[in-house]
Amino acid sequence: MENHSAENGKQYALITGASQGLGKAFALELARRKFHLILVSLPNEGLPFVANQVAELGQEAHVFETDLTQKENIVALANWVNTHFPLYVLINNAGCGGTQSFQDVSIDYLDRIIQLNIRATSLLTHQLLSNLIKRNQAFVLNVGSVAAYSPLGYKTVYPASKAFVHNFTRGLYQEFAGSNVFFSVVNPGPMMTNADSSARLQKQGLFASMGLLPPEKVAEIAIRQLFRRDTLIMLNWANKLTWMVMKFLPVYIRLPLLTNAIKKEINRT
């Protein structure tokens, strides 16, 4: 990690989970928009490779490899950023989940989802707020999921954690409505990150696979709408339809339908 004091006039954006998938796509999208990047992910996940791609686009890329499930690591990251960089954009993208029977998973599996999706998002936002609020205009984008709109069997803790992210962001948006920090949440559906994920999603049926977007497109739309000050970002027609179905279809109907679709994924693996 480079110990560098930022020069006046430079704009920095921090992205967690930046080594691959949507996080990497966010990094490259923001680099194209002339932001310098602070890239965060677990060690040994290829983060320097993403940093090189950012540098090829003419922007600085500062790498911080750490495990955000540990509170002391979040504090260390925030202290480093607050000391060296004027932060304009924070994207809480790091998260984890999975599809398994609740009784079959380990306690560490459950704890990691809670610590990363809920605690890391909350604590990092809190610790970096004093930096963001110094800017004339700053933005926080939290990455949720369409799973936030409904409970799901065989995922259980994951949709609950994303419901937290959704409600957490909406609350902050209202609390800071009169300030210079703007809060937004995007709830993507399934993404075509690789051939394996695309094939897995096809097993869940039409509802799961319709409107599939690659991470690059999700990042492009999300960043555009963030800077347009859209506090609840809808990505495409399928994203909007999913939101409407989840919002208006009674839970006693949608919960068994969605759980049965998820169960197919387990049965066919």
Q: What is the pLDDT along the chain (269 residues), one digit of tens a residue?
A: 333 334 457 999 999 999 999 999 999 999 999 999 999 999 999 999 999 999 999 999 999 999 999 999 999 999 999 999 999 999 999 999 988 999 999 999 999 999 999 999 999 999 999 999 999 999 999 999 988 888 888 899 999 999 999 999 999 999 999 999 999 999 998 776 554 555 555 555 544 555 678 999 999 999 999 999 999 999 887 777 877 777 778 888 878 887 887 887 676 55
Instruction: Give the per-residue pLDDT at 110.
Output: 96
Overall domain count for the chain: 1
Pair 206, 242: CB distance under 8 Å: no
Angle, alpha carbons 14-20-163 (nearest 5°)? 70
Instruction: Give the per-residue pLDDT at 202.
Output: 54
Domain that holds residue 106: 12-267
Question: Is residue 45 domain-resident?
Answer: yes
**Hey, which residues does 183 pair with through a beta bridge?**
140
Could you tell me the sign of the dihedral formed by the alpha carbons of 48, 122, 163, 185, in that order?
negative
Question: Is residue 2 domain-resident?
Answer: no
Question: Is residue 6 domain-resident?
Answer: no
Question: Is residue 149 domain-resident?
Answer: yes
Residue 244 CA, chain-centre distance (Å), reads 22
> How many residues would you count in the chain?
269
Question: Is residue 224 domain-resident?
Answer: yes
Question: Is residue 3 domain-resident?
Answer: no
**CATH of residue 44:** 3.40.50.720
Sheet strand arrangement including 36-41:
61-65, 36-41, 12-16, 87-92, 138-143, 181-186, 232-233
Instruction: Give the per-residue pLDDT at 2.
Output: 39
Question: Is residue 239 domain-resident?
Answer: yes
Give the C-alpha separation, 149 to 207, whole Å.
14
